[in-house]
């Protein structure tokens, strides 16, 4: 006779299934065929780190697609925050990374967390791009002007004017708990990010 699965095992199975779905998001950029800029492979990292785990995260206020400015401090005491810097709209890896977060929204909610997506693109470009990908559930912010100021404060502004592909987990007290300045040519591992986020919760 089989033993009934515990709620923890059920949750683990569900989590693995969601992560598997998110991995399949790599094919979502097919809807962009003919619209995605296919650039050359870039130097993996082209910036100087400024922050380390345990530092207070620099506050910022940036314009968002909603029309309302979004500040990091508005989440203090309320939500853990994952800041997702991506280099540019209409590029292959970026157009796979954020749709993957759509699929596993529940895992972020379970960790009492939200994502803030940031690029150095302007609002009009970000609007067209996210509409094409079917929208995203998290706020998308423009670090266009003063150009790359927030990316610079986080130590992830590349010499060419775009940000690194970088993830920062900020806890409810505003402290940096995890940093992944990733190879710009590759998607960060979602399972790793969720695992680090669960440690914060």
- DSSP label at 162? S
Mean pLDDT, rounded, for 147-162? 97
Buried b (16+ CB within 10 A) or exposed e, 154-173: bbbbbeeebbbbbbbbbbbe
At 83, which helix (H) or strand (E)?
strand 80-85
15 is catalytic: no
Is residue 185 scored above 70 in pLDDT?
A: yes
Closest CA to 171 of 1, 54, 9: 54
Predicted structure pTM score: 0.84
165, 193 Cβ separation under 8 angstroms: no
Tell me how far apart the alpha carbons of residues 106 and 59 are, in angstroms, rounded to a whole number.
26
Express each pLDDT in 76-114 by its tens digit. 999 999 999 999 999 888 888 999 999 999 999 999 999
Active-site residue, from 22, 86, 88, 94: 94
Q: What is the DSSP letter of 6?
A: P
**Local confidence band at 41 (pLDDT 50, 70, 90 cut-offs):** confident
């Amino acid at each position: 006779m089989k033993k009934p699965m515990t709620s923890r095992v059920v949750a683990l199975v569900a989590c693995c299934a969601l992560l598997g779905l998110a991995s399949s998001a790599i094919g979502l950029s097919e809807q962009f065929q003919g619209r995605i800029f296919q650039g050359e492979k870039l130097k993996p990292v082209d910036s100087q780190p400024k922050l380390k785990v345990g530092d207070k995260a620099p506050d910022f206020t940036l314009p968002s697609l909603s029309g309302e400015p979004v500040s990091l401090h508005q989440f203090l005491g309320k939500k853990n925050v994952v800041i997702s810097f991506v280099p540019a709209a209409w590029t292959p890896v970026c157009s796979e990374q954020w749709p993957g977060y759509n699929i596993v929204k529940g895992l972020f909610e379970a960790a009492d967390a939200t994502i803030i997506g940031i690029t150095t693109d302007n609002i009009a470009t970000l609007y067209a791009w996210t509409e094409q990908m079917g929208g995203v559930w998290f706020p998308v912010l423009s670090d266009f002007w003063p150009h790359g100021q927030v990316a610079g404060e986080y130590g992830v502004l590349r010499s060419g004017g775009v940000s690194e592909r970088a993830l920062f987990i900020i806890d409810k007290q505003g402290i940096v708990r995890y940093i992944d300045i990733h190879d710009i040519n590759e998607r960060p591992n979602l399972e790793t990010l969720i695992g680090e986020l669960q440690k914060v919760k």
